[in-house]
Structures are given as C-alpha cells and as structure tokens.
Amino acid sequence: MGNESKTRRLLEDAARRGIAYRETCAGRSVAPKPDAVAAVGRFVEALPVEGKDDEDVLAMLDEIGSPASIAMAGPRFFGFVIGGSLPVTLATNWLSSAWDQNVVMHEVTPATATLEQVALSWLVELFDLPPETGAGFVTGATVANFTALAAARHRVFADAGWNVESVGLIGAPPVTLIVSDEAHPTLFKSLGMLGLGRDRVVRIPTDRQGRMIAAELPAAEGPTIVCTQAGNINSGAIDPIGEICDAVEGSGAWVHVDGAFGMWAAASKALRSMTDGMQRADSWATDAHKWLNVPYDSGIAFVRNAADLASAMAITADYLITETEHRNPSDYTPELSRRGRGIDVWAALRSLGRNGVEKLIDGCCAHARRFAAGLSAAGFEVLNDVVLNQVVVSFGDDAKTREVIGAIQSDGTCWCGVTVWQGKTAMRISVSSWATTGEDVEKSLRAMIDTARRLGARSV
Ligand SMILES: Cc1ncc(COP(=O)(O)O)c(C=O)c1O
C-alpha cells in the first residue's frame, strides 16, 4: 500500500474514533471507571527499539486513553471552569492541525496570521475594549496574565527611567504591586515568573463574595501595578473595576484585569453592568478554552498600548522575517513557535456570532441559577450569590461535604469538584459548556440530591 493511502486510512481511522468518542460522551459515566483508569498502566513501557505500526499506535491511544479520559467534552462536567469544545472548533482544530502551521511570521503563514488578527479584532469589539488594543494568543489565562503583566512591567519601569528588558531587575527602582486577597493563584505565579515576587504584594481585603474593596486601596504613589479580577474562581463575582480605576486615576498606575472567565460577562447585555469600568484598564487576560468553548489550550493577553506588549515580547534575528507591513504574531507572545490557536477562536466567533456568544453565556448562567434553586429547595446551603456561572454549595460539615462530593463523582452522572469557600468546605458547580441542556441540569440535580440524601447529608 502506498504512503498516500496509508495516511488516508490512518486519518480516517482517527476521525472515526474521535467522532465515536464525542457521540458517546453524553451517555457515559463522566468520571472514568476504575478499571479504565487502572488500564492506563499499559502505556508505561520501555522505549521501543523498533517503531510500531501507526494504526496500532492510534488504536492503543483510543482503546486505553478514551475510556480513561474524564468527559470534559460532555454536557455534565461541572468541574473547575472548563468548557467543552464546540463541534465547529474541533473541526477547525483538526483541519488546522493538518496544516501544521507555525504562526511566527505573517509573511510565512499569511492565512493563519490573518485569521488570528481578525479573531483578535472581533474579541476587542465583543469586550468593547479600546480599538487600539494589541493582543496575543497564548496557552491560557496563566500565561495571558504573565504576558499582559510583562507589558505592565515594561511600562511602569520605563516611566521610572529603567529599561527592564535590557538590564533586568537587579538594582531596579521599587514597584508597588496591589493584588486582591482573592486573586487566583496563577496571578501570584505570573508575578513570580516576572521577577516581581509572589509575596511582595499589597493584598486588598475582599467582601463576602470575594470582590476587592476599592475603598481599601492605598494611595498609588510611584510605579504601581493594580491587579483586578473579573470572575472569582469560587463565587464568580467580579471586582468593582470602575471604582478601582477611579481610586488610582491620575496616579499613572497600571490596572490589569484577570478575566479568565468573568470577562465574558461583557458579552451579555444582562450581565454587562458587572464589568462596568473594565474597559478603562490597561491590560486584560482571558481564556477562550473556558467560556468560548474552543479546544485546549487557548488564552488571550490584551494590552491597551500595543507598543508596550511588543516592547516586552518582540525579538528580531537575521533569519526571521520580522520587517513587515503586517502584524507579526510573535511580536505579542512569549513563544516564538506555536500553533494557530486563534483559528479556533475565529471559528467559534464566526459560528456563534455576537448573539450566539451572548446566548452561550446567558444559558450557562441560567443553568447555574437553576442548580442553586434546586439545591436550596432540597435544603442544602448555597454559599454564594449566584451572579454568574458558579455555584458553591455545602452538604453539611466539611467531612460530610467531602463524602458527598466523592460519591457524586463516582456515581458518574455529573462531575463537580471540591473547594473551601469562606472557611467552609464546599462543592463547586461551574457551568461552562455549550453542550449542557436543561435536561442535563435536572438529571445532575437529581443525582446530587439523591446522593446527598442517601448519605444523610443536611444543611448546617
Ligand atoms: C481568575 C482566573 N485566573 C487564571 C486562571 C488560570 O487559567 P488557565 O488555567 O487557563 O491558565 C483561572 C483558572 O480557572 C482563573 O479562574
């Protein structure tokens, strides 16, 4: 058999297996069964001296890997904040993987670079960010925070007469970092990776929903970066970003928004007021693999002044075609080489349109409210104001709540994780997938309530 027909057979086999996986996702246990998990041990083998047949390699991946995967792509996965890729984005992901483009330079990959530029301009419009905003596609909100804060670091040091990209941080003037007490741990990690320190921060207290209290901000003096948050990982609450911008107005402080998922509230007329003032910030980080439901991995860093982002990220070399009239994708990202993540974002936005994104966001929030109402009616304590797509619920004391969560996970109807919220162990329900229907919510509610009652849980 020629190479051509072997490749065709292999890719058709992969497509057939992928389609079968997606078609069975809604009907299977969300958590993999223990025997399937045990079977992953079969992957652990010595490096083969001679290569194996390609069809066998694929078959092994499917036969062992597929049953051992958790059904994140299905409609009843409510763990962490994880969307399930929209079919069109999976399709464009498959096709663009076939292209195998390295999106470094516009001149070399014009189609990919143009698609990314279009996707970025649509996002800027969707979030109502300043039209001059620059941006880059990265792996997720962690790296989006890192990238945007690298631009912030550039600007605040440049304003203090210090070229941080050139001479680094040793001997640099001090910078004040203002961070919410409820900032996501990856925000602190980003600050650490930038050499600004995870702990050298001024922490601002938050209210009962995890929102930064703007009145507690110190007067911003000298080089200052203020990190706000749109979407608390537990409650979904959004910081009062407008009030925070008011508090530092005129000080020259850089305001950043970690909007991994909460930023998407700006795409909904019903929710938009929660993000009031967000557009006044200097930089923003968000994920597309969460609420836009594109395949992993996909995040975006936005910076109002594109030149600050390029100053932190752009490089040049004799062998690279960086002299161009076009936007060079790698001028705005930490990576030089990377895949065309923006293609799936373009596909999601083109397929959904502005109205479809709004419907997706509003739909997830409506499902979250139904979860909260159903659990409250059954006598369990919902610990947060359900303002977005997040519900935090207690099934009694910490031990009982953990026991119930474990039993819900192994029941397999749905999957939710554990957290600690305001000192109380709780279950987090995050509704982030396009695939979740009202029926999925009712089915999951029944499983949660039946499991909790069977274990004798009651609210305290
Ligand atoms: C507010 C916030 N920031 C950052 C992150 C990190 O995102 P990622 O895992 O996509 O890097 C998350 C993840 O849930 C988040 O909720």
Rounded to the nearest whole angstrom, what is the distance from the C-alpha of residue 287 to the centroid of ligand 1? 7
* Total residues found in the chain within this entry: 460
Percent of the chain with pLDDT over 70: 99
CA distance 120 to 349: 10
Residue with CA nearest ligand 1 atom 4:
141
Q: Is the CB of 233 under 6 A from ligand 1?
A: yes
Rounded to the nearest whole angstrom, what is the distance from the C-alpha of residue 290 to the centroid of ligand 1? 9
Per-residue pLDDT tens over the stretch 97-110: 999 999 999 999 99
Pick the atom of ligand 1 nearest to 81's CA. Answer: 14
What average pLDDT does this structure show over 173-182?
97
Per-residue pLDDT tens over the stretch 278-325: 999 999 999 999 999 999 999 999 999 999 999 999 988 888 888 889
Rounded to the nearest whole angstrom, what is the distance from the C-alpha of residue 233 to the centroid of ligand 1? 8
Q: Is the CB of 186 under 6 A from ligand 1?
A: yes
Rounded to the nearest whole angstrom, what is the distance from the C-alpha of residue 435 to the centroid of ligand 1? 21
What average pLDDT does this structure show over 454-460?
85
Pick the atom of ligand 1 nearest to 262's CA. Answer: 1
Residue with CA nearest ligand 1 atom 15:
260
Q: Is the CB of 229 under 6 A from ligand 1?
A: yes
pLDDT of residue 460: 59
pLDDT exceeds 90 at position 83: yes
Pick the atom of ligand 1 nearest to 299's CA. Answer: 10
Residue with CA nearest ligand 1 atom 16:
233
Pick the atom of ligand 1 nearest to 145's CA. Answer: 4
Q: Is the CB of 299 under 6 A from ligand 1?
A: yes
Rounded to the nearest whole angstrom, what is the distance from the C-alpha of residue 5 to the centroid of ligand 1? 43
What average pLDDT does this structure show over 111-118?
97
Residue 224: phi, psi to the nearest 5? -140, 140
Per-residue pLDDT tens over the stretch 395-417: 999 999 999 999 999 999 999 99
Rounded to the nearest whole angstrom, what is the distance from the C-alpha of residue 141 to the centroid of ligand 1? 5
Band of residue 458 on the pLDDT scale cut at 50, 70, 90: confident
Rounded to the nearest whole angstrom, what is the distance from the C-alpha of residue 82 to the centroid of ligand 1? 10
Per-residue pLDDT tens over the stretch 55-64: 999 999 999 9
Pick the atom of ligand 1 nearest to 233's CA. Answer: 16
pLDDT of residue 33: 97
pLDDT of residue 11: 98
Rounded to the nearest whole angstrom, what is the distance from the C-alpha of residue 390 to the centroid of ligand 1? 14
**DSSP assignment string, 175-210:** -EEEEETT--HHHHHHHHHTTS-SSSSEEEPB-TTS
DSSP SS3 for 427: strand
Per-residue pLDDT tens over the stretch 197-224: 999 999 999 999 999 999 999 999 999 9
Give yes or no for a contact between 14 and 59, defined as CB atoms under 8 angstroms apart: no
How confident is the prediction for the chain on average, in pLDDT? 97
Q: Is the CB of 73 under 6 A from ligand 1?
A: no
Q: Is the CB of 258 under 6 A from ligand 1?
A: yes
- Cross-strand bridge partners of residue 417: 428
Give yes or no for a contact between 135 and 120, defined as CB atoms under 8 angstroms apart: yes
Give yes or no for a contact between 408 and 414, defined as CB atoms under 8 angstroms apart: yes
CA distance 411 to 277: 43
pLDDT of residue 1: 55
Rounded to the nearest whole angstrom, what is the distance from the C-alpha of residue 135 to the centroid of ligand 1? 18
Distances (CA, A) of 439 to 367, 379, 398, 400, 444: 10, 21, 30, 27, 8
Q: How far is it between the farthest Cα atoms of the chain?
A: 73
What average pLDDT does this structure show over 420-443?
98
pLDDT of residue 166: 97
CA distance 77 to 413: 9
Q: Model pTM?
A: 0.97
Q: Is the CB of 267 under 6 A from ligand 1?
A: no
Residue 300: phi, psi to the nearest 5? -135, 135
Give yes or no for a contact between 302 and 135, defined as CB atoms under 8 angstroms apart: yes
Per-residue pLDDT tens over the stretch 330-366: 999 999 999 999 999 999 999 999 999 999 999 999 9
Nearest to 367 by CA among 434, 318, 420: 434
Residue to probe by mutation, ligand 1, list 287, 294, 392, most atoms within 8 Å of CB: 287
pLDDT of residue 320: 87
Rounded to the nearest whole angstrom, what is the distance from the C-alpha of residue 260 to the centroid of ligand 1? 5
Rounded to the nearest whole angstrom, what is the distance from the C-alpha of residue 144 to the centroid of ligand 1? 9
Per-residue pLDDT tens over the stretch 20-73: 999 999 999 999 999 999 999 999 999 999 999 999 999 999 999 999 999 999
* Tokens standing for residue 213: 């209290």
pLDDT exceeds 90 at position 456: yes
pLDDT of residue 322: 81
